[in-house]
Amino acid sequence: MSLPLCPTDCSSNLPAVDFDKCNPITNNAEISKLYFTTVGNPLTNYANELEWDGRLDNSASGANKIRMLTVIGEFPAVGDNEKEISGGRKKEGVKDFQINVTVDETSSTNYNSLIRNMECGGNYLVWFETRDGKMWGGNSGIEAFIKFKLNISKSYNDLIVFDGTIKWKSQYHPEGYITSPVTDSTGNQ
């Protein structure tokens, strides 16, 4: 993952910002797609639609294939983990990140793969995308632990769902925030 260029002396990065009084840029929330593959199989150029086309496949075998889940998800704000060190100085520490998703397509294939097979454990490379087509993960993806749990409520009017968590540790937020090369602005793949 590409990391920010942090100063190595006592200077601070003065961030560039972009605000427009008449036409502010805003983006809607809600994670709608989760992509994952095996560790060791990053993308060469995650902004390249052709690379995604060649690797996205929800059933073919092959370590370099990427699976895509349609989800309802959130990436809540992460808590600070700043450390105070000698002399009253502050140092940014590693943070615990977590994405929470719900899968509402509960076929037997999804159950056996997402619930049962993923109970074997292991990390994956992950990318995520909002409903409006903003994507995070960079070329390297986010190395994360993925876990799903079966959720059957008491009400017949509710759906059976698989609730998932994607967890990782890093000092930095994930690389990305590009327009997805996989999904167009209308949410179609």
Contact of 145 with 168, CB cutoff 8 Å: yes
- Going by their DSSP bridges, the two strands 142-151 and 123-130 should be labelled as antiparallel
* Element spanning 108, H or E: helix 108-110
Percent with pLDDT over 90 in the chain: 74
Contact 12, 114 (CB under 8 A): no
The Cα–Cα gap between 60 and 109 comes to 13
40-43 CB contacts, 8 Å cutoff, 24+ apart: 41/125, 42/125, 42/139, 42/140, 42/141, 43/139, 43/140, 43/141
In this prediction, residue 90 has a pLDDT band, given cuts at 50, 70 and 90, of confident
**14-45: pLDDT as tens digits:** 778 889 999 998 889 999 999 999 999 999 99
pLDDT single digits (tens) 96-140: 999 999 999 999 999 999 999 999 988 999 999 999 999 999 999
- 3-class DSSP assignment, residue 32: strand
